[in-house]
Structure 1
Amino acid sequence: MTQTLATAPRALPTPAPRSSRRRRGRGALAARIVAAGVICGILLFPLYWMVVVAFSSRAELLGGDLRLWPRSWTMENFQRVLSSFPVITWFGNSIAISVVVALITVTVSLLAGYAFAHLRFRGSNVLFLVALSTLMIPVQVIMVALFQLVTTLGIYGSYWAVILPTAASAFGVFLARQFMLAIPRDLIEAARMDGAGHLRVFTRIVLPLSKPLIAVLFFMSLLQSWNDFAWPLIALKDNSLFTLPIGLLYLQGQFGSDYGATMAFALLNVTPMVILFLVFQRYFVQGFARSGIR
């Protein structure tokens, strides 16, 4: 009797009905959607409030009767900003500097990332660690050295004084290396066995596979250069060469507590980057996913 009980198979747990599992799955999905909606609302509310203040009338702002939805949408804040400052010139300066910085940063990051990922040379790991260690150095620490450098080179007060010191990114090199490590080495070795040089492998194989990476690098460097304030304020001395962040500082000093004009100028500064992210967000997500960064 004891042996029979010991050898008797244990009863398996009864699986939950499919309908109950489906209800739990739908409930978890609904909870995630609600949580994502709440987080998105919290993150997007400052941008929405900027839009509301920028398109509200000055009388409504001064009267303290500002609401979540303006009574009447007006462009007077934008007209006042555009008529008082050379915003178009500053906008063009920001585009020119940011695009050139982004192009140089993408080029340097791709070439360095390919070298660290698929070339074997003595000291490559040490050199890569040295490049990464520069991420721990705040830019404020080296501003005096950068100022002395651009002054010695004779480019102080020009576009190149802003472009050259910020035209390479250690994080961009790291991101490019991580992305290119995911490219099969067998594919590159097969091209090398067919007689292709490193330049041909890079242009014909690596670059076509690196479109998400290029989009990420270009957007990140463009965004960083577009929003850069401290170094352009030091490196530029002519009012006609200022960028939008510096112009926003002068606007605050000119208009004081005119929040409508300030928000209108800030909205002009933010809108291009928001549009750019919405256009390239698919490549942006793919680039981070394939680089192994979570």
Structure 2
Amino acid sequence: MKKRKNEYKTYHYVIITGMTIFSILMMFPMMWMVMTSFKSNADIRKNRTKFFPTEWTLEGYQKAFEKAPIGHWFVNSVMIVACIVAAVILTSTLIGFVFAKYEFRFKKLLFVLLLATMMVPPQVTMIPRYLMIQKLHLFNTAGALIVPGIVSAFAIYLAKQFIADIPDSLCEAAKIDGAGPLRIYWHVILPNIKPAIGSIGIFTAMMNWNDYLNPLLMLNDIEKMTLPLGLVFFDSQRSTDLSATMAAATMIMIPMIIIFLLFQKQFIKGMTMSGIK
């Protein structure tokens, strides 16, 4: 027994050490970016291999706000991502509720077709989406990014898996008490799928916050750009100002880190439970 315990401890320490090394390697580029944002351009050129700044400065952040409308880009990104996340949570939970708790003709076929859309590369639908946005007169507006993103096949699938695990007896009890479908959805379904809602929200926020292709395709005006698109424009125009570029990239990264830290419990629980199911 002692040998087994010692072997288990050794195995446990090896795994922890390996994961620690892997985590450091994964986080090193991000940490290098953050440290570089606090360096001056002269310090970056003089000490290319030095990790920490020789002299800490906020010069890069000041230049980033002076030379580009970072504030407008940040507000645009927050507004677009917030609208898409709210819409995806609403549509995915409603559609998942219908697929999980109701029987209707062609239910399995429709669900298979829904899942099949996940296999289609987004580049295939890029031109049709662009033409539809033009016909709807949404080009170069926030709606050009919000409208195509209000439904997510992956989010519907995840919500359906969670809702299907809720006992039918709860819904039947609510029906006996006189609750209609929407009341059952609001008072029975949503409180029992909070981990799924957290996971859907984080995935949707990260995907749309870091989206570059769709804003590039749908937006023209500089002030209407989102942060990822604005960063590329900023870098292409002032490629020698590495300090300001890294400062802008750091500001893009920080909101997603904050969101993950705030909702990591729901995210981990949602992924764990969906994996078990």
Q: State if a TM-score over 0.5 links the two structures.
A: yes
Distance 1:219 1:235 in 2: 24
**Selected match of 1:267 from 245, 250, 262:** 250
Q: Does 1:133 align with 2:119?
A: no
Does the CA-based 8 Å contact 1:176-1:291 persist in structure 2?
A: no
Q: Give the 5 Å matches for 1:26-175.
A: 26-175=9-158
**What's the counterpart of residue 271 of structure 2?**
288
* Distance of 1:246 and 1:64 partners within structure 2: 29
Which residue matches 1:248? 231
Return the alpha-carbon distance in structure 2 between the equivalents of residues 248 and 226 of structure 1.
Answer: 13
Check if 1:24 corresponds to 2:7.
Answer: yes
CA distance in structure 2 between the partners assigned to 1:133 and 1:293 by the alignment: 22
Matched AA of 1:35: G
Structure 2: how far apart are the matches of 1:258 and 1:181?
A: 53
Q: Match for 1:158: what amino acid?
A: T
Q: 1:182–1:291: 8 Å Cα contact kept in structure 2?
A: no
Amino acid at match of 1:144: I
Return the match for 1:221 from 201, 204, 207: 204
The separation in 1 between residues aligned to 2:166 and 2:247, in whole angstroms, is 45
Gaps of 5+ in 1: 1-17
Q: Which residue of 1 aligns with 2:213?
A: 230
Identity of aligned residues (%): 35
| Whole-angstrom CA distance in 1 between matches of 2:35 and 2:153 | 38
SS of 2:114's equivalent in the other structure is helix
- In structure 1, how many angstroms separate the alpha carbons of the residues matched to 2:241 and 2:111? 49
Cα deviation, residue 206, structure 1: 0.8
- Structure 2 letter corresponding to 1:93: N
Q: Which amino acid aligns with 2:249?
A: A
Indicate whether 1:239 and 2:222 are aligned.
yes
Give 3-state SS (helix, strand or coil) of 2:123's partner.
helix
Measure, in 1, the Cα distance between the counterparts of 2:120 and 2:2: 56
Q: What TM-score, normalized to structure 1? A: 0.90
The equivalent of 2:195 in structure 1 is 212
Query: Do the aligned partners of 1:60 and 1:66 also contact (CA within 8 Å) in 2?
Result: no
The structure with more radius of gyration: 1
- State the secondary structure of the residue aligned to 1:141: coil
Unaligned 5+ runs, structure 2: none
Q: How much is the aligned-residue C-alpha RMSD, in angstroms?
A: 1.5
Cα pair 1:182 1:290 within 8 Å, conserved: no
Asked whether the 8 Å contact 1:56–1:260 carries over to 2, the reply is yes
**TM (normalized to structure 2)?**
0.95
- Tell me the matched-pair count: 277
What SS is found at the alignment partner of 2:105? coil
